[in-house]
A and B are shown apart, each in its own frame.
Chain A
Amino acid sequence: MKKSMDDYQIINNIRKLRFFHEEMTQKELAQRVGVTRQTIISLEKGKYSPSLELAFKIALVFDMPIGKVFSFDLKETGS
């Protein structure tokens, strides 16, 4: 079946990357990119999609290309 754009969502590896960067806390990451800790929590839960600027800032903190931090994949259906 052909997939529509609505079947895709922005997925991120922030939680995993924080772990591999000396278990960086959500608060520390939030301070480094200039947002609140709640925004980082929302991002990790996949509830909030960041602006391009914030996405680049987060990638810069982890010193990785943006494509390694964020991807545009099919939504999990839960089945």
Chain B
Amino acid sequence: MTFQQKNNTVSLVSFVAITAFFLVRVGQLIADDNFSHQSVVRLWIVVALLAVIATIVAMIFTHSVATAIESVQSGDPDFEIDKTVDERDRRIDLEGTSVTYTVSSLGAFVAMVTYALGNSPLVMFTLLIFFGMMAQIAGDLKRLWSYREV
């Protein structure tokens, strides 16, 4: 597995975990009849903070922990992970970004339609955040799939 594949895998796992947490919390808020402005905004802030923390932890993992593990496995104390990003990586990244934009555009459209149909702005923004995370997941999945195919 290359450095870029590790990055994508860690990003995918982080965003799946954050999306699951987000969905569970939204479900709880709806079940408790507490889908209010205050609680939903608090949830958005928590999710945004989690995304930032997850990105930092993922970066530390792929740069340090994974290198240390591979160094031990190879038995070479001077082992250095290959962080080269070449034209194939850039092409695959572009394909992933394209999927991310498509899903997020679709999400924005769905969110606006729900608002146009008379739902509260809270529903619209919750959907926007949900589709934002789904877009990231879809992009990472596309990248990982492309690494297997190309």
Residues of A within 8 A of B (CB): 30, 34-39, 42, 47-48, 50-51, 54
Q: CB distance B150 to A36 under 8 Å? A: no
User: In this assembly, does B25 line the interface, its C-beta being within 8 Å of a C-beta of chain A?
Assistant: no
The residue on B at minimum CB distance from A54 is B87
A62 to chain B, nearest CB (A): 19
The answer to whether B87 and A50 touch across the interface, beta carbons within 8 angstroms, is yes
A35 contacts B86, C-beta separation under 8 Å: yes
Q: In the complex, what distance in Å separates the CA atom of A62 from the CA atom of B87?
A: 20
Q: A36-B88, A38-B2 are in contact. List 18 more A-B contacts (CB 8 A).
A: A30-B84, A34-B86, A35-B84, A35-B86, A35-B87, A35-B88, A36-B2, A36-B84, A36-B89, A39-B86, A39-B87, A42-B88, A42-B150, A47-B149, A47-B150, A48-B150, A50-B87, A54-B87
A47 to B150, CA, bound (A): 5
Query: B95 → chain A, closest Cβ, in Å?
Result: 13
B-side contacts of A54, CB under 8 Å: 87
Q: Which residues of B contact A47 (CB under 8 A)?
A: 149-150
**Complexed CA–CA distance, A39 and B90 (Å):** 12
The closest CB in chain B to the CB of A53 belongs to: B87
**Number of residue pairs spanning A and B whose beta carbons lie under 8 angstroms apart:** 29
Interface residues as binary, B64-108 with A (CB distance below 8 Å gives 1, 0 otherwise): 000000000000000000101011110000000000000000000
CA distance A36 to B81 in the complex (A): 11
- Taking the closest CB of chain A, its distance from the CB of B119, in whole angstroms, is 46
CA distance A34 to B90 in the complex (A): 14
A8 to chain B, nearest CB (A): 19
A79 to chain B: closest CB distance in Å? 24
B141 smallest CB distance to A (angstroms):
19
Distance of A47 Cα from B91 Cα, bound (Å): 13
Taking a contact as CB atoms under 8 Å apart, the answer to whether B87 and A51 are in contact is yes
Could you name 17 residue pairs across A and B whose Cβ atoms are closer than 8 Å? Answer: A34-B84, A35-B87, A35-B88, A36-B2, A36-B82, A36-B84, A36-B88, A37-B82, A38-B88, A39-B87, A42-B150, A47-B149, A47-B150, A48-B88, A48-B150, A50-B87, A51-B87
